[in-house]
């Protein structure tokens, strides 16, 4: 009888852990998107505190080649397949994504696209790389980084 009670108790505990685990994963997927619109200086500070940041430059290839943030992936906002190119980039939707453009207009418009694609933590540089350059923050030139 004690073996049966122990087995039943073990079954309930394991079943409860599995259910709680499945609920936790389900709850993670329901997390609302956090959006931070930051000036270049604060954006830079957050970027520096983030391990392996996902940086997306949504300007044109020509703009990107003229100067971009180190490690930025180019995904051209004006490409008709912009949303599909974001999906193809293999980005982690639960890690912060840093987006920027030239002046902040395209990246502000792109926030909704990233949100609809399921990204949970979006950091947007509100005045774009223009303000970044004005503050003399570091940039790289050329097409050295993967282009989507």
Q: How far is CA 1 from CA 6, 8, 12, 15, 124, in A?
A: 9, 11, 17, 21, 63
| Better-predicted residue by pLDDT, 7 or 51 | 51
Class of domain 32-134: alpha beta
- Ranges of each domain in the chain: 1-30, 32-134
Measuring CA to CA, which residue among 66, 114, 60 is closest to residue 86?
Answer: 114
Where does residue 32 rank: exposed (0-12), middle (13-18), buried (19+ CB within 10 A)?
Answer: exposed
pLDDT tens by residue, 86-129: 999 999 999 999 999 999 999 999 999 999 999 999 999 999 99
Measuring CA to CA, which residue among 143, 33, 45 is closest to residue 96?
Answer: 33
Task: Give the position of tokens 């694609």.
Answer: 117
Task: Give the position of tokens 């930051």.
Answer: 38
pLDDT at 21 over 50: no
Separation between Cα atoms, residue 39 and residue 48, nearest integer Å = 14
Give the per-residue pLDDT at 24: 47
For residue 144, the 8-state DSSP code is: -
Averaged pLDDT for residues 36-59: 97
Question: 71 and 53 in contact (C-beta within 8 Å)?
Answer: yes
Task: Give the position of tokens 């790289």.
Answer: 140
Give DSSP secondary structure letters for 56-124. EE-S-HHHHHH-B-TTPEE--TTSTTHHHHHHHTT--TTS-EEEE-SSSHHHHHHHHHHHHTT-SEEEE
Using 50, 70 and 90 to split pLDDT, how confident is the model at 142?
confident
**pTM metric for this prediction:** 0.77
Mean pLDDT over each residue of the chain, to the nearest integer: 86
């Amino acid at each position: 009888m004690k073996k049966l009670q122990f087995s039943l108790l073990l079954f309930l505990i394991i079943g409860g852990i599995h259910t709680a685990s499945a609920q936790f994963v389900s709850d993670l997927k329901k997390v609302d998107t956090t959006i931070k619109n930051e000036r270049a200086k604060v954006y830079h500070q957050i970027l520096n505190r983030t391990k392996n940041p996902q940086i997306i430059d949504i300007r044109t290839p020509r703009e990107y080649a003229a100067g971009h943030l180190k490690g930025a992936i180019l995904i051209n906002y004006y490409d008709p397949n912009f949303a599909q190119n974001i999906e193809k980039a293999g980005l982690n939707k639960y890690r912060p994504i840093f987006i920027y453009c030239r002046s902040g207009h395209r990246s502000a418009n792109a926030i909704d696209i990233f949100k609809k694609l399921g990204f949970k933590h979006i950091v947007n540089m509100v005045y774009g790389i223009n303000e970044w350059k004005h503050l003399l923050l570091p940039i790289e030139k050329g097409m050295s980084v993967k282009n989507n």
